[in-house]
């Protein structure tokens, strides 16, 4: 029974995980708005979701150890490949964060995250009602 519920919610689970990760990336951009030479980053949500659902998400790559004394690492960078944003207007200090763009993206992502949570809550209520009706 649990696997059927997992299958029913898999897509939304992947989407919420990516939305949460994107929120962290966007928050990092906003936090570094005044850092010289900071490059704003983001990822293509649709492509990342498509890869995650297909099971081709960014897996961990082995970290090369050039000396036996080096600690083994996982090389994990996150669930999506981050790319640099191209600013509409370059700043003098090399920072590519545009606060208007970042705020808009942050707000849109937050609204979509909340919509996903609401959708999952509705699905869980429907599944609960169906299970109660069966017993």
pLDDT, tens digit, for every residue of 37-84? 999 999 999 999 999 988 865 544 455 667 777 776 555 567 899 999
User: How much is the pLDDT for 46?
Assistant: 94
User: How much is the pLDDT for 113?
Assistant: 97
Who has greater pLDDT, 90 or 37?
Answer: 37
CA atoms of 51 and 15, how far apart (whole Å) = 11
The reported pTM is 0.79
CA atoms of 83 and 77, how far apart (whole Å) = 12
Per-chain mean pLDDT for the chain: 87
| Listed residue (39, 13, 17, 14) closest to 28, CA to CA | 39
């Amino acid at each position: 029974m649990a696997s059927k519920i997992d299958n029913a919610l898999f897509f939304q689970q992947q989407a919420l995980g990516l939305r949460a990760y994107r929120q962290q990336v966007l928050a990092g951009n906003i936090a570094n708005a005044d850092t010289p030479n900071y490059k704003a980053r983001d990822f293509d949500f649709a492509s990342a979701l498509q890869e995650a659902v297909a099971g081709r998400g960014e897996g961990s790559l082995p970290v090369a150890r050039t000396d036996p004394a080096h600690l083994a690492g996982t090389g994990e960078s996150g669930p999506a490949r981050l790319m640099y944003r191209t600013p509409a207007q370059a700043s003098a200090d090399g920072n590519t964060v545009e606060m208007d763009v970042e705020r808009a993206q942050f707000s849109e992502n937050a609204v979509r995250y909340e919509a996903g949570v609401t959708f999952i809550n509705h699905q869980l209520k429907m599944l609960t009602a169906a299970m109660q009706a069966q017993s």
